Structure 1
Amino acid sequence: MEFLRSIFSHPWLPHVLAVSGFVFAVFLIARLFAEKKQPSNTVAWLLVIVLIPYVGVPLYLMFGGRKLRRLMARKSRLVLVHGGLDLVRVSPSVSQVINTTNALGASPPVGGNALRLITTGEEAFALMEENIRHARHSIHITTFILGRDDTGRRLVELLAERARAGVKVRLLLDAVGCVFSSRGFVDPIRRAGGEVQRFMPVFSLVPRRSANLRNHRKIAVFDQHTAIVGGHNLAEEYMGPLYNKKRWSDFGAVVAGPAAVLLNEVFLADWAFASGKPLEALHNEEAEAGEPVRVEGDSALQVVASGPDAKGDPLYEGLIAMIQDARESIYVITPYFIPDEVLWRSLMVKARAGVRVVLVLPERSNHPITDYARRFYTRELRGAGARVMHYGAGMLHSKAVIVDERVGLIGSANFDLRSLLVNFEIGVFVYSRADVRKMGAWVATLLASSTELKQDRPRRFPFFSGLLEDLCRLLAPLL
């Protein structure tokens, strides 16, 4: 004790601590710039680290990583193998999007699919239940949120029932999104012989985990042939057997055919990482239980996974390519609208050039800070000629983009920096005009329940409201 007391009372200790703190701060700032984040993201972290270091430094160490080299060395790069799938030639009018995503390692489009849109939570639950009940070989589900509610309990019961019947059930839960439902709540599945894994636990003995890298993908694949993809989490807010007026408006699709095989590949890569089981062994199991890929329709679809396991940012750059190639119209449906400079300026240029740019956003989302952060972007876009529609029939959680009735995008990603540049996300580009028109018809139903925002609402305290808006916009890239 006397030795420790002498050290802590030594006059040079404050100097050593100051120098050490400075060196550590320089190291963190150098690492921050080396990660090649978006400028707004870098500035936000820099301010937090410099102005409130006792908070900013530990937060950055826990949440700041984007594409961590050591982590990704353990999680193999996501490469979707086509193995006999029908690669389809699509219209040259969408070649810019396809070339962009393919250059970043995304899967080329495949034909022979059937696509069915899911526009209500009741329909989503019914289709999930139906496919779980009729699965013969395997059920693979990954979700960001599994609710500890009636919807979550019912799905756990169904999965346990199918596991007892000998179906291979695998449930992959994000460790943050399912923090309250990834342990004892899903024990019925484990006891029935099914498997449950948690994706990247925040507190783990494995080094170089990051709480920042979340699996936001929502994928359910049945018998390697039929898949459900979109924005629906497995909770009462998103789906359920009965109508609930408080349920959020969400969007997704059922995919049957070759594209479902590729969605299954995404699941297997994530499962191999979370479970530690070799991907080759999983593929061998699939080959033993699987059936030949069947042609189910004439939809041309492209499966694009984005995240730290992808080369570059294919979903983000594919979205930029969609917008920049627009000739007549751009519809963006999203719950949270926090674009980066490139996406925002691309929309601004298109609106000024006479392209019909329409944003459909919730009047009030479940995250007020993002509502404040979006005000600047929507105000500038309105000034450029874009229309901003506020959906008034509850919370809008749908995510979709439609360009010119030529190409659509369905998936899990929001129109914000976290989804497009940090999270593990999944998207399906739709290249069949008949399917894109069906997406347009769904958007028309949203517009019927929306009002156009002509100008910002009057503020009681303009100075403080403006200050709050600027602060939220500054911090939004960290959310």
Structure 2
Amino acid sequence: MLLSILTFIYFFNAVIALITILMKPRDVSAIWAWLLVLIALPVFGFFLYLFFGRGLGDKKKYRLQQSDLKELENLAQLQEDSLSIFDSELENTELQPFVDFFSLLNRMPLTRKNEVDIFSDGEEKLTALIEDLKQAKKSIHIEYYAFVTDKTGKRILKVLEEKAAEGVEVRLLYDSFGSRGTKPKDFTQLIQNGGFAQTFITSQRALLKLRLNYHDHRKIVVIDGNTSYIGGFNIADQYVETTKRFGYWRDTHLRIHGAASSLLQMRFLMDWNVSAPEKNQVSYHLDYFFTDEQSATGSTDIQVVASGPNSEKEQIKLAFIKLITSAKERVWIQTPYLVPDDSVIAALKIAAGSGVEVKIMIPDRPDHPFIYRATQYYARQLIKENIEIQVYRGGFLHAKTLIMDDEICMVGSANQDIRSYKLNFEATAVLYDKKIIQQLEQIFIDDLTKCEEMTPEIVAEMSAWLIFKQQISRLFSPIL
């Protein structure tokens, strides 16, 4: 009798699983991954799917899309007002197809004459950020996946409270899932001083709405519309201190002074206005943007590419593919997670098969066990394609960078994994500047001194149990 009941439950579970999965358009790989979860874990698998497998609701997706369209219209007006710092053409005409391509992805223009500083150390980045925040005169806009109110978070929060009390407009947008331990009451003083703190739209009442899988993974700061930050560092102790779990945290972040700050400001406004209640939304005005053409004295041309599950375009993934398949000499990548989909794998194979030097650097330790084992699986597969895999042993490598030849590089929040391609809200800067590329190249070379190459001999020594864990983790890679 019990066996019959269990058989019925399992059969009924399998049928309902199939119907549930096929109700919503999705990749075949994701369908099979979710079917595996639902069938292998009867009942419990449905709870996992309810919270992590359902897409964004149509109303929420529409709100995100309309917010983007509204602010992009404002950006078009800003370009007309400040033509000399926004442009549509590079001096190097050979790279013009890239500018056109990235402009079509997001309708984000090319910005000229930016000054760029690169940070690869968390404390150095934090110190520079705090100093810039203290100098703010008009506005501070901050957006982080993880804004944790530990020692590091409180250092930032203290400055924000002080600036708000001085009359500076302070707005803080954070993802509640990434900011574990952070509570709304932590921002009471900031709000009393006139500032604002807001959770991102997808993390608002997400538990009640049964949607936990869509995160604001961006790391953006814009100060007075002139100075901005973008990259991989979040705000929490682990990003600036050497910890027992991660060791030294190795990441890459940019500080930008110039018109590219306006692009990041526009991205922030899109995300803020779609997340905040109507009374706290902000209106477009020039004070938020870089319009001082006389102070545009840098040499770096920058575009910004953003993507998220509110769009089917997967813009950042397309940007990665464009650079990888266009390379003539090299593609150097740093990523904490290497869980690419078939299209990116094909791009990497094409590049390596065309004689391009493809190097990928990954960490030697996990912060998410399943993703780490999946990363090892894909690393094993890629070395068969003449792709060099370097395993960083100097701590935890969290940098998200890509260098193409000596011409273009990307630095931002997006990893080389399916989550960053499809599920997270991400942002990355595309930079055209040989000097910046040389700096990133030197950082990569310095990191290589702390790496061990994954060779066929090392793979051959992996235990059967480790290979099994990698294989199992790989099966779930479309939904990790």
Same fold flag (TM > 0.5) = yes
Distance 1:397 1:205 in 2: 27
Query: 2:89 — aligned with what?
Result: 89
Instruction: Please give the per-residue CA displacement for 1:324-370, whole angstroms capped at 9, x wherever unaligned.
Output: 10110000101111111111122122213221010111122322322
Amino acid of the residue matched to residue 101 of structure 1? F
The correspondence of residues 53-72 of structure 1 with structure 2, limited to 5 A, is 53-72=42-61
Query: 2:20 — aligned with what?
Result: 28
Query: 1:396 — aligned with what?
Result: 397
Distance 2:241 2:222 in 1: 19
Query: 1:136 — aligned with what?
Result: 137
Other structure's SS at 2:345 match: helix
The correspondence of residues 165-176 of structure 1 with structure 2, limited to 5 A, is 165-176=166-177
Query: 2:286 — aligned with what?
Result: 287
CA deviation after TM superposition for structure 1 residue 107, in Å:
1.0
> Are residues 1:164 and 2:153 paired?
no
Structure 2: tracts of 5 or more residues without a match:
1-5
Question: Do the aligned residues in 2 keep the contact of 1:182 with 1:198 (CA within 8 Å)?
Answer: no
The correspondence of residues 312-323 of structure 1 with structure 2, limited to 5 A, is 312-323=313-324
Distance 2:291 2:472 in 1: 54
Query: 2:475 — aligned with what?
Result: 474
Deviates more, 1:144-153 or 1:263-272: 144-153
Deviates more, 1:60-69 or 1:255-264: 60-69
Other structure's SS at 2:278 match: coil
Query: 1:74 — aligned with what?
Result: 63
Paired positions, count: 460
Query: 1:42 — aligned with what?
Result: 31
Distance 2:305 2:464 in 1: 43
Amino acid of the residue matched to residue 29 of structure 1? I
CA deviation after TM superposition for structure 1 residue 119, in Å:
1.5
The correspondence of residues 13-412 of structure 1 with structure 2, limited to 5 A, is 24-32=16-24, 34=25, 36-37=26-27, 39-77=28-66, 78-79=68-69, 80=72, 81-82=75-76, 83-84=78-79, 85=82, 86-90=86-90, 91-200=92-201, 202=203, 204=205, 210-239=211-240, 246-277=247-278, 282-284=282-284, 286-287=285-286, 292-294=291-293, 295-310=296-311, 312-412=313-413
Amino acid of the residue matched to residue 329 of structure 1? R
Distance 1:289 1:438 in 2: 30
Query: 1:5 — aligned with what?
Result: none
CA deviation after TM superposition for structure 1 residue 298, in Å:
2.3
Other structure's SS at 1:384 match: coil
Distance 1:407 1:272 in 2: 32
Other structure's SS at 2:384 match: helix
Deviates more, 1:466-475 or 1:127-136: 466-475
Structure 1: tracts of 5 or more residues without a match:
1-13
Distance 1:110 1:291 in 2: 11
CA deviation after TM superposition for structure 1 residue 460, in Å:
8.3
CA deviation after TM superposition for structure 1 residue 456, in Å:
5.9
CA deviation after TM superposition for structure 1 residue 239, in Å:
2.8
Deviates more, 1:422-431 or 1:52-61: 52-61
CA deviation after TM superposition for structure 1 residue 276, in Å:
2.6
Other structure's SS at 1:246 match: coil
Query: 2:3 — aligned with what?
Result: none
CA deviation after TM superposition for structure 1 residue 27, in Å:
3.9
Aligned CA distance change for structure 1 residues 152 and 240 (closer, same or farther; 3 Å): farther
Amino acid of the residue matched to residue 107 of structure 1? M
Aligned CA distance change for structure 1 residues 240 and 461 (closer, same or farther; 3 Å): closer
CA deviation after TM superposition for structure 1 residue 254, in Å:
0.7
Deviates more, 1:421-430 or 1:350-359: 350-359
CA deviation after TM superposition for structure 1 residue 71, in Å:
1.2
Amino acid of the residue matched to residue 87 of structure 1? D
Aligned CA distance change for structure 1 residues 289 and 418 (closer, same or farther; 3 Å): closer
Instruction: Please give the per-residue CA displacement for 1:240-264, whole angstroms capped at 9, x wherever unaligned.
Output: 69xx993301101011111101101
CA deviation after TM superposition for structure 1 residue 26, in Å:
4.6
Aligned CA distance change for structure 1 residues 26 and 337 (closer, same or farther; 3 Å): closer
CA deviation after TM superposition for structure 1 residue 135, in Å:
0.4
Query: How many percent of aligned residue pairs carry the same amino acid?
Result: 28
Distance 2:126 2:230 in 1: 13
CA deviation after TM superposition for structure 1 residue 177, in Å:
0.9
TM-score, length basis structure 1: 0.88
TM-score, length basis structure 2: 0.88
Distance 2:275 2:132 in 1: 24
Instruction: Please give the per-residue CA displacement for 1:76-127, whole angstroms capped at 9, x wherever unaligned.
Output: 3424324224214123433443343333334132212111111211211111
